Amino acid sequence: MFRKLKETLFIAYVCIFSIIALLPLVHIVFTVFANGIPVIFRGGTEFLTQSLASPGKGLGGIFPAIFGTFLLVFLSSLIGIPIAILAGTFIAEYPTSALSKSVRALLTIMLEFPTILVGLFVMAILVIPMGSFSAIAASLALAIVMLPYVATYTEQALRNVPQHYKEGAYALGLRKARVVFSVSMRIARKGVVTGLLIGVAKVSGETAPLIFTAGNAWRSVGGVFEPVGAIPLWIYYLVQQPYANYHEIAWGSAAVLLTLFLVIFIPLRVLTREVRV
């Protein structure tokens, strides 16, 4: 009888604390959608296609920010993913070399490195010599942020390829490059793609690296060497403005960002559960 009571209390205790842990997340999602979705509905499709409204005058659109986010994700992937995959493959296939051990240590540091410092670094090496903010600088910063995630997921995925497939490939007289790229990589495909998507999802919401590299673009969509906007950047700046409509636009942008985020992450989680290791 007493044991039953203890059991019930324990379960209640676990439930209550789980709910408390989930509360902030639920609160954020709820608040953002509660405040942002009405804005989007009021703004209509123009909210997604036009550029920033004048101070105090209506909602306008956040198209430059959306364009910027997509451009930056694309460019940073282009720069970061190949390097990350090669790095991940290298440390997976040559785990004992000194270089490999240093690279792995470096990647671990990069995972925790303050992203604003990444932004500062790129500013120093690219923005200042170029004389202006640019999409390319922002992409480089994002690529650096993305790199350790994609690289470590790639390494894990390759490590998880069962040894007997590799042995079988070598036993057929295949050379190392073939075994790694045509056999291991193809088998590890799902894990590597997961890593890619996680990297992409992460950088699509990053703000700090963009502050010193992207500049901003409120009304235009420029080329690779010109300043560019991004949704998180806009939210950061808009919130600091004194105008009420800008605050509303910020909520709307937040809702758009959260939607994009969930649209990538939820299917991603479902996918990873299906991957057999």
Partner 1 sequence: MNAIETRNLRISYGENEVIRGIDLDIPEKICFAIMGPSGCGKSTLLRAFNRLLELNPTAKVSGEIRFFEKNIYEMSEHELRRQIGMVFQMPNPFPHMSVFENVAYAVKCNRMAKSKKDLSEIVEWALKKSALWDEVKDKLKEKASNLSGGQMQRLCIARALALKPKVLLMDEPTANLDPISAGKIEELIHELKKEYTVVIVTHSPSQASRVADYIAFLYLGNLIEVGKLEEVFENPKNELTEKFLTGRMG
Q: Is 174 in the site for partner 1 (CB under 8 A)?
A: yes
- Residue 107 identity (one-letter amino acid): L
d(CA 2, CA 5): 5
Residues in contact with partner 1, total (CB under 8 A)? 20
Q: Is 181 in the site for partner 1 (CB under 8 A)?
A: no
Cross-strand partners of 52? 60
- With beta carbons less than 8 A apart as the criterion, state whether 204 and 264 touch: yes
In this structure, the number of other CB atoms found within 10 A of the CB of residue 221 comes to 17
Read off φ and ψ for residue 52, nearest 5 degrees: -60, 140
Binder among 30, 186, 244, 263 for partner 1 (CB under 8 A)? 186
Binder among 15, 18, 22, 167 for partner 1 (CB under 8 A)? 167
Beta strands in the chain (DSSP E): none
- With beta carbons less than 8 A apart as the criterion, state whether 194 and 268 touch: yes
- Residue 129 identity (one-letter amino acid): P
**Of 2-10, 16-24, 169-177, 237-245, which part binds partner 1 (CB under 8 A)?**
169-177
Q: Helix, strand, coil % (nearest 5) of the chain?
A: 80, 0, 20
**Of 70-78, 113-121, 133-141, 177-185, which part binds partner 1 (CB under 8 A)?**
177-185
Q: Is 173 in the site for partner 1 (CB under 8 A)?
A: yes
Q: Is 92 in the site for partner 1 (CB under 8 A)?
A: no
CB of 198 to partner 1, least distance (A): 22
Q: Is 96 in the site for partner 1 (CB under 8 A)?
A: yes
Q: Is 263 in the site for partner 1 (CB under 8 A)?
A: no
Q: Which two tokens stand for residue 48?
A: 């997604």
Q: Is 129 in the site for partner 1 (CB under 8 A)?
A: no
Binder among 189, 224, 240, 266 for partner 1 (CB under 8 A)? 189
Q: Is 54 in the site for partner 1 (CB under 8 A)?
A: no
CB of 179 to partner 1, least distance (A): 10
Q: Which of 34, 3, 12, 1 is nearest to 255 (CA)?
A: 34
Residues engaged in binding partner 1 (CB under 8 A): 96, 162, 164-175, 178, 182-183, 186-187, 189
